[in-house]
Amino acid sequence: MGKIFWKRTFRELKKNFLRYFALWMLVILSMFLVVGIVSSAQSTIQTINQTAEEDHLEDGEFTLAVPLGKEAIQNIEKMGVTVEAVFSLDLKQKDNSVIRVMKNRRSINKIHISQGREAKQEDEIAVERIYAAAHHLNPGDTITLADKTFTICGIGTTGDYELCVQNPSDAAADGDIFGTAFVTPEAYENLKKSGAVRQSEDLTYAYHLGKDADADEVREYLSGRLLRFETAENNPRIKPANGDVQINIRAGLAAGVIVLMMLAFVISVFVVHSIDKESSVIGTLYAMGVKRKELLTQYTMLPVLICFTGGIIGTILGYSPLALSFLGGETYNYYSIPEIEICCRPALILYGTAVPAVTAYAVNWLVIRRRLGETALSLIRGGMKEKVSYVHLRTRSFVRNFQIRRILREKRSCLAILAGMLISLLVLDLGLNCYVLCKKIRRSTMKDTKYEYMYQLKQTPDTIPKGSEPAYAETFSKENMGYELNLTVIGLKKNNPFFPAVKSHGKDEISVSSSVAQKFHLEKGDTLTLKDKADGENHSFTVVEIVSYNSGLTCFMDIDGMRAVCGRGPEDYNVLYSDHSLDLKAGQIYTITEKKDVIKTGAVFMDLMMPMFFTMTGCGILIFLIVLYQMVKVMIDRASHSLSLMRLFGYRDRELKRLYLNGCFTVTGAGAVFMVPLAKWIMDQMYPSFVANIACGLDFEWEWQLYFAVYMGVIICYLIIQALVMGKLKKITPEEVLKQRE
Amino acid sequence: MYIKITDISKSYGTKENRNQVLSRVSMELEEGKICVILGASGSGKSTLLHLIGALETADSGQIQIGGQEITKMPEEKLSDYRRDFLGFVFQFYNLVQDLTVQENIEVCRYLTEDSLDLEELLRVLGLSKHRDKFPAQLSGGQQQRCSLARALVKNPKLLLCDEPTGALDSKTAGELLILLEQINQQYKTTIFIVTHNEEIRKMAHKIIYLKDGMISKTETCEHPASAASLCL
């Protein structure tokens, strides 16, 4: 019996090859997507955590105005804390990019070299990976810093600059405009003396807490001379990728459940159709003494095999470098992390390989079990009988009636089409929301950045340089869905030409930008509480207005109010905005930010998100095409007897299409009218959590043209499938009616 | 519609599995007549009907219907031929299960602009009160009458009936034959009836006896008996 069943299974596969192939592809694609997203994320987290341990990632860092003396260091070390100076010099290159040069690290935040080695000679330098890639630098190449030529001896990354931004409050990293580099202590001292340094030396120390050591104790000890104190958890430069990909894991697992439900539904339609078609055979075999178990094995074998092999291939592809580059590539290209090593988790492998097969088995088992609940005789007699919905239609048009009857009869397939459409649209919308958000960030950054230069000052000049606008800005933090986000609050003078006019007055009022309002769901009259990153204190403000400004997460106050919040004097300012370059001394400047760099960082998201966008769009379209093909094909297969009969009566292809396919077209077209906005609405509810840790607004509203384009995409997909199925429909001949008798 | 069949042969399979179903069959039938094809199972009677209905293609020979040679027609033309000239009645009705009686009839009415009056047809065939029922809600006889109504609604010139009474009890079968007779007389429809029930031959103008794929005997009858007189 087993041999015969195998033969039969093989023949069934041969006969319906395209259908099984489509199911196989659907499983492969679904598992590739789910396993790919989750495994890329897990591998990224594993690699980052492992590297952090190996390279002794800091527990925090602090920046001072003057270096610590020997005694102070000893005092801190007595608290069980290891301290290492990570001083830096910002050097501008000919292409206007900035290289932050530091000494080789000794014990904390050690450089993770991916190519070459650390600098050993005075003329050697190890360059950060993203900067090196953006500037096409390789070991053996040379770069010039302060008129001195350095040979690149290595390319690497450090954990304290995983998000490699010049200022912790910068919205995005961009290797084109900023990177780090490491030289020997001697080379560093020479550079410091060279006079080419644009800004004063940054005096930051990294610390490592020993057993029972407390960061707050260190903060207290340093208070008074502290410019910045940040624990690793609150430092936006440290391990931001983990947060990003953690979201991917959640999204991937959610997608996994949704995809499984869709698979189960598609398989159930598939199986119900096959079993209905075979019901007289099942009845005959049953009558002849074949056992339930044998029948179950026979009829579940093929779909289970298809799903099992599809699951294995999908899982292998999901763990492949291909998936890592498509689905995890943007993490590697954006964050300064070492090469991601693929890590295999048994639970995910089990999900990818076993779950599709188990789903297929379970669905088959349920359907066949229900069928075998009937008597053998009723199975034999009812072999070709189909369930009919006894609905009386009032419409007088025969064609309309016929189409409605088809839809009623094929409601399960129609539902599967709509479910497949919704799931595909969700996948597609994830990609499109990414695209729209990035596009809007780029556009608003260009629109809202009106200054040409922003100087963050260490010391204010004696007089305010002509043509510049002083402001007092501080970075605060606020929690959003479990992530600490940096917000910049700028205290502005009245009639500041570079920012919108603000109404807020005094230290209790704040004007929030539209991006902040979206991100934190703020409205006029709400209270906004922000945490001061230096002293950890909370400040509460009343939102007096929402101003149209979408570049990063920014709030505005009047400068006097801001000075009062930060405990500064009436003439104090720490930022200068200007439409031209200012003649300031290097020692006065903390950082210089140019408009073109800000605009570039706004565009960087777009470039990074493109592979993800294309993968999501491609997968969404493919899933929809496969589900649509499967379901329309099932409908046509189930109607093959009546189609053959129609042909016998003299119906032409065009008329058959009108009767049998146009109803489905109506379902798809009308369904898309609801599904496109529904999927967008669902995705809009989920999407903020996917970008919870990114310092940007939440403006991913679509233009009507995009809705229309998605709708037309659905229609085009249907027309493609219709053309494919028409080929099959044309092959149905009148003779078939003679073979298929009730 | 004049029908002329000349030297028609048909076989299935190839080489050693070849099964010659019809062998050089020739016959003629005048317009508006009833022809009954009789024969045992496997004699080729259904195949002959299918060839006339252009449901199958002959290996050799010619079939002329109203002066048109159909054996060499392309599929599209054959579709037009079936659409414009033919009506089919099957032993197993072949009704579309999820369409009502009226909708099943409309399937064929849709194909012509010159259809018979639907109300009249429903009344004549006794289906008026069943018009909104689905096939599964009808008896075998009612289903076959629906099948007949569907075939007739487009007012075909040629009606092909394959064992139309095969699945019916004798009373219902008798009623159906009376209907066929009425249609033949009222609309001058040429009718082919394939059956193995010898009694039905009495209502035919021409009787073809098939045996092993060949015509063993042909009878003609100027004044056939009325369907009502048959002892089924």
Burial of B84 (0-12, 13-18, 19+ CB in 10 A): middle
φ/ψ of B116, rounded to 5, equals -75, 160
What's the pLDDT at B146?
Answer: 93
Which tokens in the block code for residue B232?
């089924």
B231 touches chain A (CB under 8 A): no
- Tell me how close the Cα of B71 comes to any Cα of chain A, in angstroms: 15
pLDDT(A740) > 60? no
d(CA B168, CA B138) in angstroms, rounded, equals: 13
A171 or A61: which leads in pLDDT: A61
Total beta-carbon pairs less than 8 A apart between chain A and chain B: 75
Q: Do B55 and A402 touch (CB under 8 A)?
A: no
Over residues A388-403, mean pLDDT: 78
pLDDT tens figures, A205-254: 999 998 888 888 888 888 878 888 888 987 889 988 887 787 778 777 77
For β-strands A468-480 and A527-532, DSSP reports them as antiparallel
**Closest to A288 measured CA to CA, from A73, A4, A22, A39:** A4
The side-by-side arrangement of strands in the sheet containing A60-64 is A81-85, A204-209, A60-64, A226-231
pLDDT tens figures, A56-89: 999 999 999 889 999 999 999 999 999 999 999 9
d(CA A269, CA A277) in angstroms, rounded, equals: 12
Alpha-helix runs per DSSP H in chain B:
45-52, 75-85, 101-109, 118-124, 140-152, 170-187
Which tokens in the block code for residue A177?
């405009």
What's the pLDDT at A384?
Answer: 44
Which tokens in the block code for residue A732?
């149905």
d(CA A664, CA A644) in angstroms, rounded, equals: 19
What three-state secondary structure class fits A320?
coil
Please say whether the beta carbons of A271 and A199 come within 8 A.
no
pLDDT < 70 regions, chain B? 1
pTM: 0.75
Which chain B residues touch A642 with a CB distance below 8 Å? 96
Residues of CATH 2.40.40 domain(s) within chain A?
A: 462-583
- If phi over 0 gives left and psi between -120 and 50 gives alpha, with beta otherwise, what is residue A148? beta
Q: Which of B79, B103, B106 sits opposite A650 (nearest CB)?
A: B79
Q: What is the DSSP code (8-state) at residue A657? A: I
φ/ψ of B146, rounded to 5, equals -65, -45
Q: Which of A390, A402, A649 sits opposite B111 (nearest CB)?
A: A649
Find, in chain B, the residue whose alpha carbon is nearest to that of A388.
B98
Q: How many residues does chain A have?
A: 742
- Which amino acid is located at A88 in the chain? S
Burial of A714 (0-12, 13-18, 19+ CB in 10 A): buried
Please say whether the beta carbons of B228 and B38 come within 8 A.
no
What's the pLDDT at A742?
Answer: 40
- Which amino acid is located at A103 in the chain? K
Residue A491: which H helix or E strand, with range?
strand A483-492
**Closest to B152 measured CA to CA, from B163, B140, B160:** B160
How many H helices and E strands in chain B? 6, 10
Residue A473: which H helix or E strand, with range?
strand A468-480
pLDDT tens figures, A582-628: 888 877 887 788 888 788 777 777 776 777 778 888 888 888 898 88
A385 touches chain B (CB under 8 A): yes
Q: Do B106 and A650 touch (CB under 8 A)?
A: no
Q: Which residue of B47, B80, B96, B115 to mutate against A (max A Cβ within 10 Å)?
A: B96
pLDDT tens figures, A285-299: 776 767 777 777 777
**Closest to B138 measured CA to CA, from B182, B177, B180, B95:** B95
CATH number 2.60.40 given to A462-583: no
Residues 152-211, chain B, touching A (beta carbon < 8 A): none
d(CA A468, CA B190) in angstroms, rounded, equals: 103
Q: What is the DSSP code (8-state) at residue A202? A: B
Write the ipTM. Answer: 0.76
Q: Which residue ranges make up each domain of chain B?
A: 22-96+157-229
Please say whether the beta carbons of A638 and A386 come within 8 A.
yes
What's the pLDDT at A389?
Answer: 65
Find, in chain B, the residue whose alpha carbon is nearest to that of A659.
B107
Please say whether the beta carbons of A635 and A406 come within 8 A.
yes
B119 touches chain A (CB under 8 A): no
Which tokens in the block code for residue A233?
């958890």
pLDDT tens figures, A643-695: 988 988 888 889 999 999 999 999 999 999 999 999 999 999 988 887 777 77
Distances (CA, A) of A212 to A61, A80, A507: 18, 7, 39
**Closest to A475 measured CA to CA, from A64, A171, A174:** A171
A157 or A690: which leads in pLDDT: A157
d(CA B131, CA B8) in angstroms, rounded, equals: 41
Q: Do B106 and A398 touch (CB under 8 A)?
A: yes
Alpha-helix runs per DSSP H in A639-661:
640-649, 653-656
Over residues A2-14, mean pLDDT: 75
Q: A164: which residues sit within 8 A by CB, 6+ positions away?
A: A128, A130, A131, A173, A175, A178, A179, A180, A237, A335, A336
Q: How many residues does chain B have?
A: 232
pLDDT tens figures, A428-458: 898 898 889 888 888 888 888 899 999 988 8
pLDDT(A380) > 80? no
Residue B27: which H helix or E strand, with range?
strand B19-29
Residues 64-83, chain B, touching A (beta carbon < 8 A): 76, 79-83
3-state secondary structure A277-322: HHHHHHHHHHHCCCCHHHHHHHHHHHHHHHHHHHHHHHHHHHCCHH
What's the pLDDT at A318?
Answer: 92
B97 touches chain A (CB under 8 A): yes
- Tell me how close the Cα of B218 comes to any Cα of chain A, in angstroms: 27
What's the pLDDT at A276?
Answer: 76
What's the pLDDT at A382?
Answer: 60
Which tokens in the block code for residue A236?
């936006």
d(CA A26, CA A307) in angstroms, rounded, equals: 9
- Which amino acid is located at A732 in the chain? I
Which chain B residues touch A646 with a CB distance below 8 Å? 107
pLDDT tens figures, A51-63: 999 999 999 999 9
- Tell me how close the Cα of A637 comes to any Cα of chain B, in angstroms: 15
A730 touches chain B (CB under 8 A): no
With bands split at pLDDT 50, 70 and 90, how would you rate the model's confidence at A198?
Answer: low
Q: Which residue of A409, A729, A736, A738 to mutate against B (max B Cβ within 10 Å)?
A: A738
Which chain A residues touch B93 with a CB distance below 8 Å? 742
Which tokens in the block code for residue A690?
């996917």
d(CA A592, CA A200) in angstroms, rounded, equals: 11
Q: Do A738 and B55 touch (CB under 8 A)?
A: yes
Find, in chain A, the residue whose alpha carbon is nearest to that of B84.
A650
Q: Do A734 and B81 touch (CB under 8 A)?
A: no
Burial of A720 (0-12, 13-18, 19+ CB in 10 A): middle
Q: At what angle do helices A215-222 and A70-78 cross, to 10 degrees?
A: 150
Q: Do A386 and B97 touch (CB under 8 A)?
A: yes
pLDDT tens figures, A490-544: 999 988 889 988 888 888 999 999 999 999 999 999 999 998 876 778 999 999 9
pLDDT tens figures, A340-365: 998 889 999 999 999 889 988 888 88
B108 touches chain A (CB under 8 A): yes
Find, in chain B, the residue whose alpha carbon is nearest to that of A642.
B96
CATH topology of domain B22-96+157-229: Rossmann fold (3.40.50)
Task: Find residue A352's DSSP bridge partners.
Answer: none
Q: Which residue of B56, B76, B79 to mutate against A (max A Cβ within 10 Å)?
A: B79
What's the pLDDT at A627?
Answer: 86
Find, in chain B, the residue whose alpha carbon is nearest to that of A639.
B96
A742 touches chain B (CB under 8 A): yes
B99 touches chain A (CB under 8 A): yes
Q: What is the DSSP string of B145-188?
A: HHHHHHHHTT--SEEEEESTTTTS-HHHHHHHHHHHHHHHHHH-
What's the pLDDT at A677?
Answer: 96
Over residues A132-153, mean pLDDT: 94
What's the pLDDT at B1?
Answer: 53
Q: Which of A389, A399, A647 sits opposite B98 (nearest CB)?
A: A389
Which chain A residues touch B80 with a CB distance below 8 Å? 650
Please say whether the beta carbons of B210 and B39 come within 8 A.
yes
Give the residue carrying structure tokens 């094909």. Answer: A633
Q: Which of A642, A645, A650 sits opposite B80 (nearest CB)?
A: A650
Q: What is the DSSP code (8-state) at residue A173? A: -
Task: Find residue A473's DSSP bridge partners.
Answer: A490
